[in-house]
């Protein structure tokens, strides 16, 4: 079985991602750490597993006050960030939480892991930051 790669930071996004600005903050922190040469892992649990579901497509539904503009979905935003960060950023999602919410297909860059592997990710990270509820 493959070992979890070491990382400088593990960002654990838990719970409902729409409840606050925590996802935007997590993405900014991840990009900043990678930009400084660090390695980041993101692990999502709960409703945060929905951020990378393939069914979101590339764009959000149209904004009625700015009808002609397309806004990227979270899946597109995260996929683009993963592409820009190369191997410095990896994204994991909890299989149990996703299956419980009907989210079984993610964008190709996302790795689906069983919940009991989370401890291995914590052990492989220099620092762990929990965002959301536990």
Q: Are strands 110-113 and 40-44 parallel, antiparallel or unpaired?
A: unpaired
* Among the listed residues 121, 111, 122, 131, the one whose alpha carbon sits nearest the alpha carbon of residue 52: 111
User: Is residue 1 assigned to a domain?
Assistant: no
Are the C-beta atoms of 72 and 40 separated by less than 8 Å?
no
| pLDDT tens readout for residues 5-35 | 999 999 999 988 888 889 999 999 999 999 9
Whether residue 1 is predicted with pLDDT greater than 60 in this model: the reply is no
What's the whole-number average pLDDT of the chain? 94
User: Is residue 79 assigned to a domain?
Assistant: yes
pTM, 2 dp: 0.92
Which CATH number is 87's domain given? 3.40.1260.10
pLDDT value at position 2? 67
User: Is residue 2 assigned to a domain?
Assistant: no
How far is it, in rounded angstroms, from Cα 14 to Cα 134? 6
SS3 89: strand
The parent domain of residue 87 ranges over 7-132
User: Is residue 95 assigned to a domain?
Assistant: yes
| pLDDT tens readout for residues 36-74 | 999 999 999 999 999 999 999 999 888 888 888 899 999
- Total domains in the fold of the chain: 1
Confidence of residue 134 (pLDDT cuts 50, 70, 90): low
Contacts of 51 (CB under 8 A, 6+ apart): 13, 17, 23, 44, 74, 75, 78
Are the C-beta atoms of 120 and 1 separated by less than 8 Å?
no
Sheet (strand 40-44) strand order: 110-113, 89-94, 40-44, 7-14, 125-132
């Amino acid at each position: 079985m493959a070992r979890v790669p070491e990382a400088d930071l593990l960002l654990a996004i838990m719970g409902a991602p729409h409840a606050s600005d925590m996802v935007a903050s997590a993405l900014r922190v991840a990009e900043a750490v990678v930009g400084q040469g660090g390695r980041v892992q993101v692990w999502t649990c709960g409703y945060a597993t929905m951020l990378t579901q393939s069914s979101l497509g590339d764009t959000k539904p149209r904004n009625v006050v700015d009808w002609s503009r397309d806004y990227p979905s979270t899946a597109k935003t995260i996929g683009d960030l993963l592409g820009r960060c190369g191997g410095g950023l990896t994204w994991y999602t909890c299989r149990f939480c996703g299956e419980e919410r009907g989210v079984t297909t993610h964008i190709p860059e996302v790795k689906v892991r069983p919940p009991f592997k989370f401890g291995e990710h914590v052990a492989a990270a220099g620092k762990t930051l929990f965002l959301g509820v536990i």
